[in-house]
Structure 1
């Protein structure tokens, strides 16, 4: 009987022992969580941590690439612009395509009012503000026609706030710095930049505040203010700067095929789709109400940039349900991969060829006018990431994720070879992406002149031949009209 009782007590005591250990373990977990939450709160924070919780993105090996997309004003630098200093090469002019600066998100996001979209008030920014204040009083800057530029403010209305799709003061500072840096670089080899006349400068901007305000800041840093005061701004009706070659119905079908491919890729990665939904639910809202329909990783990426580029913590729905580092890294890694796949998509290439035809044609016309000494000698297009993306694809360039960063730039430098006082020979151009010479990447450049290890030139006759003879070969037609009808 004692043996039976002892055998009965042994398992019972083990069960009690296990129960006590489990209770102690749970208690330790609760204490740990409490201590973790306690350290996250400051004495000034209210007790309701669910509505005020944020997580910050630290800079490490994987997130460093994400911060580079922001292109912070203090990180903008020049590269190989104006690198040809030999007297036999005469710089005739510049064609510059810029993306607008930092902007607010394209969709409503939670806690947007808590994000500071301002920037440090540098000496250059202060000078620009003072200049614009005088201009608003004197009204010296003129505009073409009765377009929307008439009513556009020169600066963001609320300097420290983020507004949907609107340029921020950080974006203004980016373009000011970029223009000023390019001026310093080019005036060493092209003295004309210091004395450009208004008739020698042509500016095009899409009909958005962010592109108009961006190019205005860029020009203030780049050219003399006396010239800026007399400039006429031209409005582009298209984000692609298609000019007279815009109507092309087949591009809609091509783009549908591209979107279909992207959608298929997302369906093939259910984990990414789930990540986009959960992250989007933590980001988006309309009138304060959460939105559950934002499943596109590219929309989520855009919203995340608003927090990352202003060094603001991400909103949390609770102490556990927060946007973590792995969420952000995963979304950006996937969207970068999708963009790389898109670059190889035949429909995307054909789409970009047709969308960029008008712009390529216009660029070639401007190049020829520069070397004929009729001008203009500075042409600036203020556009969007789509503008740069489509043009670079049409030119056969490699996929570059940093090409699409805020305040990105593509520069065409036009040169004439000078063999003597009265003897001019070939006409060439260089292509630079964010300061990097990428002339060798241009698909149609067959006559490359290697000036140095980082400096290459392509004959203008190559781009003329490409435009007139080879542009539509991949579409099995010979002209723009036929390409758009098939």
Structure 2
């Protein structure tokens, strides 16, 4: 009897241990997949992984989870590694900071809602007594309103036609939530990059694309970044870029072919992006969405699918694409806590037809599939990489200039000049600036960058002095670190990650502690970057 009971118990224990092992394996596997939802490498070796990831993503991508991440609502604690390094022998010389504008109204609305925004308070009307708000919002509004005439008089001519505050709710206007986001982000990064207020003016360069939402976001960011010098920044300090890719920005040399945004191939990005706006005519949820939003009254989109695209041509830019519908939903409803919209049932007037979570989940899956196809398309990779190449080249050249300047001050024993704030170049752009930038770096994002996202390129120097006075070091080594929303992604750049493994062999250094030697970053920009397109110079790559 005893033996039989023991045998049964042992069998049960083996079964339990098997289940536990299986559960742990599944958990680790899911954790691995989830960890890849921010960055992805584009290579032939990962095609199988992508299809598996895409299938898994359909199981975990809920509209609520995605919108929470994308909206990036103000009032949350901002965290990040910007301006800090765990190694005390590292000194920060400069940073290039690309920010995405804050929360805005949708780009467009579907036909059924065109000209009919949701009822209630307009989200772009600024009122610091109403949420979302913070301690800086009221002061910012009063400062700008009290000095509008003075500020506008001294501003860049391209910006003088823009309102300094989003008082009118036009399409794509920045909202109070967006202004509050940027105030908080500026305040956070002020604590990381500003150490000496008296010298900060000469250490900061500011650029923006020529859109009201990026300009107004920049103003609120600057007020949070350094309110004491806000007027100085705004009056004649802000330059504009004619391109959302900042290809005409060069701080270190005379203008060249690269900085005139003359690349013909790069100018095809918008049309290439439009060619990946497929619908799924076989999905009943998507068909229901078509009917409910009356999309087909304006465009026969049910015919547009991945398979039929070659037959009927690319989707026009004005068409209500899946990504535009999702943008409308997240910008108009999810980000502002509104319930999903409903429309009267034309057949049964007493009833309404409402969007539901299942339909929107299918829409998100479709948006994700289109996006994955796009970032794996060679022509899109080439166009976006060439569009961002001048900007990356400008960063590379500026970093080399900063190192030369630092060495000069060290050689002249002017050590006081090496203790100033790090150089900061602030650029206010879009999600379609950040997305192509990471494609160019060969680590494309699997999802659109959230509102108020930031990308930091930091230049550090390493020496053997713990007091950061590297002028007295035997050897000064410059390094580049790249952060996305505060997270170090430098090691994901293939050229840097592969080579820094032997540069930093110490097992105590994690991937997040391994910057990229500036010489490797320079090699990636000036040599390996164009080799991907079988070209040796930028002009030839643009024409091929």
TM-score after normalising by structure 1: 0.77
Task: Indicate the SS of the match to 2:221.
Answer: helix
Corresponding residue of 2:107: 106
Q: How does 1:317-328 map to 2 (within 5 A)?
A: 317-318=343-344, 319-328=351-360
Q: Which has the higher strand share?
A: 1
Q: How does 1:7-22 map to 2 (within 5 A)?
A: none
CA distance in 2, matches of 1:155, 1:93: 30
CA distance in 2, matches of 1:86, 1:426: 14
Which stretches in structure 1 are left out of the alignment for 5+ residues? 1-59, 286-292
Find out whether 1:461 has 2:487 as its counterpart. no
CA distance in 1, matches of 2:90, 2:514: 12
Corresponding residue of 1:25: none
1:326 Cα deviation from its structure 2 partner: 1.4
C-alpha RMSD of matched pairs (Å): 2.8
Task: Indicate the SS of the match to 1:132.
Answer: helix
Corresponding residue of 1:280: 293
Q: Is residue 282–residue 323 contact of structure 1 (8 Å, CA) maintained in 2?
A: no
Corresponding residue of 1:95: 96
Find out whether 1:213 has 2:239 as its counterpart. no
CA distance in 2, matches of 1:255, 1:473: 24
Q: Is residue 369–residue 376 contact of structure 1 (8 Å, CA) maintained in 2?
A: no
Q: How does 1:182-197 map to 2 (within 5 A)?
A: 182-186=189-193, 191-192=195-196, 194-197=197-200
1:398 Cα deviation from its structure 2 partner: 4.2
Alignment deviations for residues 344-394 of structure 1 (CA, whole Å, 9 cap, x no partner): 222221111111111111111222233233898100111111100000110
CA distance in 2, matches of 1:258, 1:207: 21
Equivalent position to 1:300, from 322, 325, 328: 325
1:483 Cα deviation from its structure 2 partner: 1.1
Corresponding residue of 2:445: 399
Equivalent position to 1:240, from 231, 242, 245: 245
Q: How does 1:354-433 map to 2 (within 5 A)?
A: 354-373=386-405, 377-401=423-447, 404-420=449-465, 421-423=471-473, 424-433=475-484
CA distance in 1, matches of 2:141, 2:457: 30
Corresponding residue of 2:252: none
Q: Is residue 223–residue 230 contact of structure 2 (8 Å, CA) maintained in 1?
A: no
CA distance in 2, matches of 1:304, 1:283: 18
Which stretches in structure 2 are left out of the alignment for 5+ residues? 1-60, 125-130, 249-258, 299-317, 345-350, 407-420, 466-470
Aligned pair count reads: 408
CA radius of gyration, larger in: 1
1:79 Cα deviation from its structure 2 partner: 1.8
CA distance in 1, matches of 2:360, 2:216: 30
Q: Is residue 294–residue 300 contact of structure 1 (8 Å, CA) maintained in 2?
A: no
Runs of 4+ in 1 over 6 A off after TM superposition: 282-285
CA distance in 2, matches of 1:242, 1:341: 26
CA distance in 1, matches of 2:526, 2:379: 22
Alignment deviations for residues 155-194 of structure 1 (CA, whole Å, 9 cap, x no partner): 1114xxx43011111111010011111222445xxx24x4
CA distance in 2, matches of 1:279, 1:225: 51
CA distance in 1, matches of 2:404, 2:297: 53
Corresponding residue of 1:481: 539
Find out whether 1:64 has 2:65 as its counterpart. yes
